[in-house]
Amino acid sequence: MEKTTLVQHIRKQERQTPLATGEFTELMTEIMVASKIISNAVNRAGIGEDIFGITGQTNVHGESVQKLDDFANCTFAKIIGQSGTVCAIASEEMEAPMIISAEENPGKYIFMMDPLDGSSNIDVNVSIGTIFSIYRKVSKGSEVTHEDLHQPASQQVAAGYVIYGPSTLFVYTSGEGVHGFTLDPSLGEFFLSHPDIKIPEQGSLYSINEGNTTIWSEKQKQLVSWLKGQEPGSPQNYRLRYVGTLVSDFHRTLLKGGIFMYPADEKSPKGKLRFSYEAAPMAFIVDQAGGDATDGLKRIMDSQPNDIHECTPLFIGSKKDIEISNKFLSE
């Protein structure tokens, strides 16, 4: 079978895009380089690379910053910051966005990232990942404005994630479908392994942290009880899968169908996941794969944040399963 590399795939899409300047291809290539560096560090964690454990700092969310969070953030920020393709970088691990000054040759894109997703799973050898989202600068002039950093999710130019797991997988969309590439570590190259991913219309897996059951809303409790076959007329075939790393729980949902939920609860009234660099990129991807994503009521793709670190409830997955969740949550 002819093997297509990630760069060949992006270049082919670039050739089919009138007025393309190659800047997007350059940016995606740099994201790929950074993800290979993280992949190498993750696969060597515990042997030589001192990247287990915590840095002793906390991030804007008050979460303890793991050494790998910091390493991933610095690696992406440095490589993307020097790429000449972006004018701003927003990150879960940086309170304020990094603005690329005029002297540093800024580009036309805004890059948003969760550099290391699933931090609680780093030291226990469970899959973790990186999530990214790319917008075009929309304001006139050289200043990066509030408008540039808080665009509707529907304005994303591209979105993607990398899973550092049994294999390193790079999944992205630029509005032309969803495509997955697997890293061949012996060659250091990502090869097309999941062309044109489509999510099943309905699944039989639900994914949620049931440890929070007591602090969910009554409607949320009823929805999960229905999925578990405990309500009159409910199905008997849904099973629970929960890794605790969004990229892994989302990737399984994308391939097998079903629904991932991180609802608002008494502890997190706006949910735990972040709109700009977790919910919005995953919503773009699932939308392109034929699924849907809401905050329980409103589509994520039709929403926009007021703050780059803003949290949102997230319901994402197969169209039919999202319709079911909407029915329970809007009644």
Question: What is the per-residue DSSP string for 111-129?
Answer: EEEEEEE-GGGGGGT--EE
Please identify, using beta-carbon distances, which residue of 113 and 227 lies nearer to Mn ion: 113
Residue matched to tokens 């949910």: 271
| Closest residue to Mn ion: CB criterion | 117
Count, residues in the chain: 331
Residue 322 binds what, of Mn ion, ligand AHG, none (CB under 5 to 8 Å, by partner type)? none
Give yes or no for a contact between 321 and 257, defined as CB atoms under 8 angstroms apart: yes
Please state the separation of Cα 221 from the chain's center in Å: 26
- Looking at 59, 72, 87, 114, which residue binds Mn ion (CB under 5 A)? 114
First to last CA, the chain: 51
117 contacts Mn ion (rule: CB under 5 A)? yes
CB of 246 to ligand AHG, least distance (A): 4
Give the whole-angstrom CA distance, residue 177 versus residue 157. 12
Q: Which of residues 197-226 bind Mn ion (CB under 5 A)?
A: none
Give the whole-angstrom CA distance, residue 116 versus residue 288. 23
Please identify, using beta-carbon distances, which residue of 24 and 164 lies nearer to Mn ion: 164
92 contacts Mn ion (rule: CB under 5 A)? yes
CB of 232 to ligand AHG, least distance (A): 29
Tokens representing 276 are 């700009």
Please identify, using beta-carbon distances, which residue of 8 and 120 lies nearer to ligand AHG: 120
CB of 61 to ligand AHG, least distance (A): 7
Please identify, using beta-carbon distances, which residue of 48 and 62 lies nearer to ligand AHG: 62
Among the listed residues 287, 45, 251, the one whose alpha carbon sits nearest the alpha carbon of residue 129? 251
Pairing mode, strands 109-117 and 86-91: parallel
**Residue ranges that bind ligand AHG, judged by CB under 6 A:** 63, 92, 114, 117-120, 209, 244-246, 249, 262, 272
CB of 19 to ligand AHG, least distance (A): 35
295 contacts Mn ion (rule: CB under 5 A)? no
Q: List the 259-262 sheet strands across, edge first.
A: 239-240, 205-207, 259-262, 314-317, 292-294
What is the binding site for Mn ion (CB under 5 A)?
Answer: 92, 114, 116-117
